[in-house]
Structure 1
Amino acid sequence: MKKQVLFIQGGGDNGYQADAALVKSLQEGLGENYEILYPQIPSNDDAPDFGWPEQIGEQIASLKDGFVLVAHSLGASMLLKYISENEARFKTAGIFLLAAPFWSGNEAWKQGIKLCEDFARQLPKNSRFFFYHCKDDKEVPFDHLEQYRQNLPGATFREIETGGHQFGGRINLVAIDIKNLYI
């Protein structure tokens, strides 16, 4: 049976289309023993969290234990929000977060997407976390990675020299890390 990988897209008007290259790269790197599920997550602009955490929860509920979660940008921060605010009823092999923004500030629009102050203590204890960020990312500042490092010192952090916000369309390192979970 193929191992399931749920990929959560980044935000923006064309986030789903833009992240398709990352999904393709990941599938190429993982090979035929992995099935990547890539649902489109539409935004509800009337909801303070754009409705993403609820949709992510619905996607996770349909998976079999032992799956892998991969998320990019806004999707990564919303995945963390969902799993830190909801009791884990699943067992995941690993959680892989690419260019995850660490929302801060007092602007009204950020309040629904910010993580709770104690989010790290609320995360599932049996999950491994991996963070990836390109130093030349112009969308999500590289120093956001440091915020996660301070909150989750037990996670794995990968600093990538170049590739920008879209990792140059290649995420081979993520595929290698996923495969290593099963060795």
Structure 2
Amino acid sequence: MKKTVLFIHSAGPQGQGQGSSNLSSYLSKELGETYRFVSPKMPEPENPVCAHWKQQLEKELHKLTGEVTLIGHSLGGSVLLKYLTEHSLDLAISGLFIIASPYWGLDKNWQSKEFTLQRNFEQKLPSIPNLFLYHSVDEDIVPFAHHIAYAEKLPQATTRELEGKQHLFLNGLPILVQDIEGM
């Protein structure tokens, strides 16, 4: 049986060539032979509501069996972390990959009570053998300081500090594929 990869996209438009669509297509193509790639459309991505995203995520997670790899891009990563630290889950998670995700509440430009993680969230994160954080050093959508904040809270994570300004990873993210295949 193929291992499953669940990809949760970013906020914003998700049509062809928009939002996480290029990254999702790239991952599906690169992982498709070896993995079952699942990339559900999250509710109202242009006006996301945390409770709705968590409900959809819960539905998607309950469909899965066996060993699962979770990938969250931007808001998708924030929602995955929020869900995993606030709900118990009877699922074998082999890896969690967080890509360019905002750390809500970090500064005045990134305030959202509904998406902000609980205090000491890192203590409530289930044990996941492979935890990776990816972020472009000079990106201008989600500042690199968010990556640093996650890295400080999650010292067990492998961090990938990427050159450039990429947030959407329009041409893919080869190191992510290598890290998944290397588990």
TM-score normalized by structure 1?
Answer: 0.89
**2:34 matches 1:63:** no
Letter in 2 for 1:60: L
Residue range with higher mean Cα deviation, 148-157 or 22-31: 22-31
RMSD of aligned Cα (Å): 2.3
Confirm whether residue 96 of structure 1 aligns to residue 84 of structure 2.
no
CA–CA separation in structure 1 for the residues paired with 2:165 and 2:173: 10
How far is 1:34 from its partner?
1.1
Relative to 1, partners in 2 of residues 1:27 and 1:150: Cα closer, same or farther, differing over 3 Å? Answer: same
Other-structure match for 2:141: 139
**More displaced 10-residue stretch of structure 1: 28-37 or 172-181:** 28-37
Q: Distance in 1 between matches of 2:165 and 2:37?
A: 22
Q: 1:131 to 1:46 in 2, by over 3 A?
A: closer
Structure with the higher fraction of residues in helix conformation = 1
Distance in 2, Cα, partners of 1:127 & 1:83:
14
Give the structure-2-normalised TM-score: 0.89
The runs of at least 4 consecutive aligned structure 1 residues that moved more than 2 Å come to: 13-18, 27-31, 43-47
**Cα distance, 1:46–1:124 mapped onto 2, change above 3 Å:** closer
Mapped partners of 2:48, 2:24: distance in 1? 28
Stretches of structure 1 that go unaligned for 5 or more consecutive residues are none
CA-CA distance at 1:79 after TM superposition: 0.7
Structure 2: gaps of 5 or more residues? none
Three-state SS of the structure 1 residue aligned to 2:155 is coil
Cα deviation digits, residues 137-160 of structure 1 (max 9, x gap): 111001101100110000111000
> What per-residue deviation string (whole Å, max 9, x for no partner) do you get for residues 57-87 of structure 1?
1111111121111110011101100000001
User: How much has 1:111 moved relative to structure 2?
Assistant: 0.5
Q: Provide the rounded CA distance (Å) in 2 between the counterparts of 1:31 and 1:65.
A: 17
Number of corresponding residues = 180
